Amino acid sequence: MTDVLESPLTRKLQVFVALSEVELGVLKRLHLRRRSFAAGRDLVHQGQSDQAAYILAAGWVCSYKLQPDGTRQIVDFQIPGDFLGLRSVLLRTSDHSFEPVTDIQAAEVFADDLLEAFEKTPRLAAAILWAASRDEAMVVEHLVGVGRRAADARMAHFLLELGARLKLVGMGSKKGYACPLTQYHLADALGLSAVHVNRVLRQLRESGLLTFRDGRVTFDKYDGLVELSEFDPAYLDQTGPLLK
Protein backbone atom coordinates (compact mmCIF):
# COMPACT_ATOMS: atom_id res chain seq x y z
CA MET A 1 0.00 0.00 0.00
CA THR A 2 1.51 3.26 -1.02
CA ASP A 3 -1.21 5.56 0.12
CA VAL A 4 -3.02 5.55 3.40
CA LEU A 5 -6.11 6.73 1.54
CA GLU A 6 -6.39 3.26 0.08
CA SER A 7 -6.59 1.67 3.51
CA PRO A 8 -10.03 0.27 4.26
CA LEU A 9 -9.77 1.72 7.75
CA THR A 10 -9.22 5.22 6.41
CA ARG A 11 -12.09 4.70 4.07
CA LYS A 12 -14.36 3.66 6.88
CA LEU A 13 -13.35 6.46 9.24
CA GLN A 14 -13.76 9.06 6.50
CA VAL A 15 -17.42 8.16 6.40
CA PHE A 16 -17.76 9.57 9.89
CA VAL A 17 -15.15 12.25 10.25
CA ALA A 18 -13.42 14.36 7.64
CA LEU A 19 -9.81 13.73 8.54
CA SER A 20 -7.18 16.49 8.30
CA GLU A 21 -3.73 16.16 6.79
CA VAL A 22 -2.22 15.77 10.22
CA GLU A 23 -4.68 13.08 11.17
CA LEU A 24 -4.08 11.23 7.94
CA GLY A 25 -0.37 11.44 8.67
CA VAL A 26 -0.81 9.88 12.08
CA LEU A 27 -3.04 7.22 10.60
CA LYS A 28 -0.42 6.49 8.00
CA ARG A 29 2.23 6.01 10.65
CA LEU A 30 0.02 3.47 12.34
CA HIS A 31 -0.04 1.49 9.11
CA LEU A 32 3.74 1.16 8.76
CA ARG A 33 4.50 -2.12 10.45
CA ARG A 34 3.00 -4.50 7.93
CA ARG A 35 2.70 -8.21 8.70
CA SER A 36 1.17 -11.36 7.23
CA PHE A 37 -0.42 -14.31 8.96
CA ALA A 38 -1.55 -17.68 7.67
CA ALA A 39 -5.13 -18.92 7.88
CA GLY A 40 -5.95 -20.96 10.93
CA ARG A 41 -3.00 -19.93 13.08
CA ASP A 42 -4.14 -17.90 16.06
CA LEU A 43 -2.83 -14.36 16.31
CA VAL A 44 -3.60 -13.95 19.97
CA HIS A 45 -4.52 -16.55 22.50
CA GLN A 46 -7.03 -16.11 25.24
CA GLY A 47 -5.33 -14.99 28.43
CA GLN A 48 -2.16 -13.60 26.85
CA SER A 49 -1.28 -10.14 28.04
CA ASP A 50 0.50 -7.11 26.65
CA GLN A 51 -0.47 -7.82 23.09
CA ALA A 52 -0.24 -5.49 20.15
CA ALA A 53 -3.35 -4.49 18.25
CA TYR A 54 -3.76 -4.88 14.48
CA ILE A 55 -5.46 -3.03 11.70
CA LEU A 56 -6.73 -5.58 9.25
CA ALA A 57 -5.80 -4.73 5.67
CA ALA A 58 -6.78 -7.87 3.76
CA GLY A 59 -8.46 -11.14 4.63
CA TRP A 60 -10.93 -12.20 7.29
CA VAL A 61 -10.43 -12.93 10.97
CA CYS A 62 -12.74 -14.24 13.66
CA SER A 63 -12.57 -13.50 17.36
CA TYR A 64 -13.83 -16.19 19.64
CA LYS A 65 -13.96 -17.46 23.15
CA LEU A 66 -13.05 -21.00 23.96
CA GLN A 67 -15.13 -22.86 26.50
CA PRO A 68 -13.49 -25.26 28.93
CA ASP A 69 -15.58 -28.03 27.36
CA GLY A 70 -13.97 -27.47 23.97
CA THR A 71 -16.82 -25.76 22.18
CA ARG A 72 -16.26 -22.25 21.03
CA GLN A 73 -18.39 -19.20 20.51
CA ILE A 74 -17.34 -16.86 17.74
CA VAL A 75 -18.03 -13.37 18.99
CA ASP A 76 -17.45 -11.48 15.80
CA PHE A 77 -15.77 -11.52 12.42
CA GLN A 78 -13.34 -8.86 11.35
CA ILE A 79 -13.08 -7.72 7.76
CA PRO A 80 -10.62 -5.32 6.15
CA GLY A 81 -10.63 -1.97 7.89
CA ASP A 82 -11.53 -3.43 11.26
CA PHE A 83 -9.44 -3.13 14.38
CA LEU A 84 -8.22 -6.28 16.06
CA GLY A 85 -7.65 -6.37 19.77
CA LEU A 86 -8.22 -2.72 20.49
CA ARG A 87 -9.61 -3.72 23.83
CA SER A 88 -6.74 -5.98 24.70
CA VAL A 89 -4.42 -3.03 24.23
CA LEU A 90 -6.47 -0.65 26.30
CA LEU A 91 -6.94 -3.19 29.05
CA ARG A 92 -3.50 -4.78 28.73
CA THR A 93 -5.00 -8.22 28.67
CA SER A 94 -6.79 -10.36 26.17
CA ASP A 95 -9.92 -12.26 26.99
CA HIS A 96 -10.40 -13.85 23.64
CA SER A 97 -8.54 -15.36 20.75
CA PHE A 98 -8.20 -14.30 17.13
CA GLU A 99 -7.99 -16.74 14.28
CA PRO A 100 -7.40 -15.71 10.68
CA VAL A 101 -10.09 -17.30 8.55
CA THR A 102 -8.01 -16.67 5.43
CA ASP A 103 -4.41 -15.63 4.99
CA ILE A 104 -4.31 -12.05 6.11
CA GLN A 105 -2.36 -8.82 5.93
CA ALA A 106 -2.42 -6.57 8.94
CA ALA A 107 -0.59 -3.58 10.34
CA GLU A 108 0.74 -4.12 13.81
CA VAL A 109 0.15 -1.30 16.27
CA PHE A 110 1.84 -1.14 19.65
CA ALA A 111 -0.02 0.18 22.64
CA ASP A 112 2.30 3.14 23.05
CA ASP A 113 1.97 4.25 19.44
CA LEU A 114 -1.76 4.06 19.67
CA LEU A 115 -1.98 5.99 22.93
CA GLU A 116 0.37 8.60 21.52
CA ALA A 117 -1.77 8.93 18.41
CA PHE A 118 -4.84 9.31 20.58
CA GLU A 119 -3.17 12.06 22.52
CA LYS A 120 -1.98 13.95 19.47
CA THR A 121 -5.16 13.70 17.47
CA PRO A 122 -8.21 13.39 19.70
CA ARG A 123 -10.53 13.56 16.73
CA LEU A 124 -8.91 10.45 15.36
CA ALA A 125 -9.34 8.83 18.76
CA ALA A 126 -13.00 9.76 18.71
CA ALA A 127 -13.42 8.28 15.25
CA ILE A 128 -11.78 5.03 16.26
CA LEU A 129 -13.79 4.77 19.44
CA TRP A 130 -16.84 5.53 17.39
CA ALA A 131 -16.05 2.52 15.24
CA ALA A 132 -15.46 0.47 18.37
CA SER A 133 -18.88 1.45 19.66
CA ARG A 134 -20.40 0.30 16.42
CA ASP A 135 -18.66 -3.03 16.88
CA GLU A 136 -20.09 -3.29 20.34
CA ALA A 137 -23.56 -2.58 19.02
CA MET A 138 -22.97 -5.45 16.64
CA VAL A 139 -22.11 -7.80 19.48
CA VAL A 140 -25.32 -6.79 21.19
CA GLU A 141 -27.28 -7.46 18.03
CA HIS A 142 -25.54 -10.78 17.84
CA LEU A 143 -26.60 -11.56 21.39
CA VAL A 144 -30.22 -10.79 20.54
CA GLY A 145 -29.94 -13.10 17.57
CA VAL A 146 -28.55 -16.01 19.51
CA GLY A 147 -30.95 -15.50 22.39
CA ARG A 148 -34.17 -14.78 20.60
CA ARG A 149 -34.16 -15.59 16.91
CA ALA A 150 -35.00 -18.94 15.35
CA ALA A 151 -32.18 -20.62 13.47
CA ASP A 152 -33.28 -19.55 9.99
CA ALA A 153 -33.87 -15.91 10.94
CA ARG A 154 -30.57 -15.91 12.81
CA MET A 155 -28.70 -17.15 9.78
CA ALA A 156 -30.41 -14.67 7.46
CA HIS A 157 -29.76 -11.79 9.81
CA PHE A 158 -26.14 -12.70 10.21
CA LEU A 159 -25.47 -12.96 6.49
CA LEU A 160 -27.32 -9.73 5.79
CA GLU A 161 -25.33 -7.90 8.43
CA LEU A 162 -22.10 -9.19 7.02
CA GLY A 163 -23.19 -8.04 3.60
CA ALA A 164 -23.96 -4.56 4.88
CA ARG A 165 -20.56 -4.33 6.54
CA LEU A 166 -18.79 -5.49 3.42
CA LYS A 167 -20.64 -2.93 1.37
CA LEU A 168 -19.13 -0.21 3.57
CA VAL A 169 -15.64 -1.21 2.47
CA GLY A 170 -16.63 -1.91 -1.12
CA MET A 171 -16.56 -5.70 -0.94
CA GLY A 172 -20.21 -6.56 -1.38
CA SER A 173 -23.61 -5.47 -2.64
CA LYS A 174 -27.29 -6.38 -2.37
CA LYS A 175 -26.60 -9.17 -4.81
CA GLY A 176 -24.16 -10.94 -2.53
CA TYR A 177 -20.49 -11.23 -1.71
CA ALA A 178 -17.48 -13.52 -1.61
CA CYS A 179 -17.42 -15.28 1.73
CA PRO A 180 -14.57 -17.51 2.84
CA LEU A 181 -16.38 -18.88 5.88
CA THR A 182 -17.05 -22.58 6.27
CA GLN A 183 -20.26 -23.93 7.68
CA TYR A 184 -18.30 -24.66 10.84
CA HIS A 185 -17.57 -20.99 11.24
CA LEU A 186 -21.23 -20.21 10.85
CA ALA A 187 -22.11 -22.85 13.42
CA ASP A 188 -19.66 -21.47 15.96
CA ALA A 189 -20.88 -17.95 15.39
CA LEU A 190 -24.59 -18.67 15.50
CA GLY A 191 -24.58 -21.12 18.37
CA LEU A 192 -25.77 -23.99 16.17
CA SER A 193 -24.31 -27.35 15.24
CA ALA A 194 -22.63 -27.63 11.86
CA VAL A 195 -25.24 -30.16 10.84
CA HIS A 196 -28.05 -27.80 11.58
CA VAL A 197 -26.30 -24.98 9.76
CA ASN A 198 -26.36 -27.17 6.72
CA ARG A 199 -30.07 -27.91 7.13
CA VAL A 200 -30.88 -24.23 7.53
CA LEU A 201 -28.83 -23.27 4.49
CA ARG A 202 -30.59 -25.88 2.42
CA GLN A 203 -33.94 -24.62 3.62
CA LEU A 204 -33.06 -21.04 2.72
CA ARG A 205 -31.82 -22.15 -0.67
CA GLU A 206 -34.92 -24.21 -1.39
CA SER A 207 -37.21 -21.37 -0.46
CA GLY A 208 -35.35 -19.19 -2.95
CA LEU A 209 -34.02 -16.70 -0.43
CA LEU A 210 -30.26 -17.09 -0.56
CA THR A 211 -27.52 -19.39 -1.78
CA PHE A 212 -24.35 -20.14 0.14
CA ARG A 213 -22.03 -21.95 -2.23
CA ASP A 214 -18.43 -22.18 -3.30
CA GLY A 215 -17.31 -19.36 -1.08
CA ARG A 216 -20.04 -17.04 -2.21
CA VAL A 217 -23.21 -15.72 -0.62
CA THR A 218 -25.91 -14.82 -3.13
CA PHE A 219 -29.02 -12.98 -2.01
CA ASP A 220 -31.71 -14.45 -4.26
CA LYS A 221 -34.52 -12.49 -2.64
CA TYR A 222 -33.13 -9.67 -0.57
CA ASP A 223 -36.47 -8.32 0.61
CA GLY A 224 -37.65 -11.74 1.66
CA LEU A 225 -34.54 -12.14 3.79
CA VAL A 226 -35.00 -8.76 5.42
CA GLU A 227 -38.54 -9.71 6.27
CA LEU A 228 -37.68 -13.14 7.62
CA SER A 229 -34.89 -11.86 9.84
CA GLU A 230 -36.39 -8.47 10.64
CA PHE A 231 -33.09 -6.97 9.67
CA ASP A 232 -32.77 -3.28 10.43
CA PRO A 233 -29.43 -1.84 9.39
CA ALA A 234 -29.90 1.33 11.47
CA TYR A 235 -27.15 0.35 13.89
CA LEU A 236 -24.67 -0.02 11.07
CA ASP A 237 -25.08 3.05 8.94
CA GLN A 238 -25.56 5.82 11.42
CA THR A 239 -23.76 8.71 9.87
CA GLY A 240 -21.10 10.28 11.98
CA PRO A 241 -22.63 12.25 14.75
CA LEU A 242 -19.80 13.12 17.07
CA LEU A 243 -17.80 15.46 14.87
CA LYS A 244 -18.41 17.19 11.61
CB 186 within 8 A of CB 60: no
- Annotate 81-114 with b (16+ C-beta within 10 A) or e (fewer): bbbbbbbbbeeeebebbbbbbeebbbbbbeeebb
- Residues binding a copy of itself (CB under 8 A): 47, 65, 67-69, 71-73, 75, 87, 90-93, 95-96, 129-130, 133-134, 136-137, 139-144, 146-149, 190-191, 230, 234-235, 238, 241-242
Sheet-wide strand order for 61-66: 72-78, 61-66, 97-100
Indicate the residue among 12 and 96 with the shorter CB distance to a copy of itself.
96
Residue 193 in contact with DNA, rule: CB under 7 A: yes
Return the one option of a copy of itself, DNA, none that residue 152 interacts with (CB less than 5 to 8 A, by type): DNA
Least separation in angstroms between residue 8's CB and a copy of itself is 21
Choose which of 45, 65, 92, 199 interacts with DNA (CB under 7 A): 199
Residue nearer to DNA on the CB measure, 112 or 214: 214
Q: How far apart are the first and last CA of the chain?
A: 28
Nearest to 141 by CA among 229, 10, 33: 229
Min separation Cβ 20 and a copy of itself, Å: 18
Out of DNA, a copy of itself, none, what residue 195 binds, judged by CB under 5 to 8 A for its kind, is DNA
125 makes contact with DNA (CB under 7 A):
no
Q: What angle do CA 205, 211, 216 make, to 5 degrees?
A: 160
Are 222 and 177 in contact by the 8 Å Cβ rule? The answer is no
Whether the Cβ atoms of residue 13 and residue 127 lie closer than 8 Å to each other: yes
107: partner contacted, choices a copy of itself, DNA, none (Cβ within 5-8 A by kind): none
- In whole angstroms, the minimum distance from the beta carbon of 190 to DNA comes to 8
Residues forming a β-bridge with 72: 66
Question: Which one among 14, 102, 105, 183 touches DNA, defined by CB under 7 A?
Answer: 183
In the complex with a copy of itself, the residue whose CB is nearer, 69 or 206, is 69
Question: Min. distance of Cβ 13 from a copy of itself in angstroms?
Answer: 15
Q: Quick check: 43 and 54 in contact, CB under 8 A?
A: yes
**Can residue 196 be called a binding residue for DNA (CB under 7 A)?**
yes
Residues contributing to the site for DNA (CB under 7 A): 150-152, 182-184, 191-196, 198-199, 201-202, 212-213
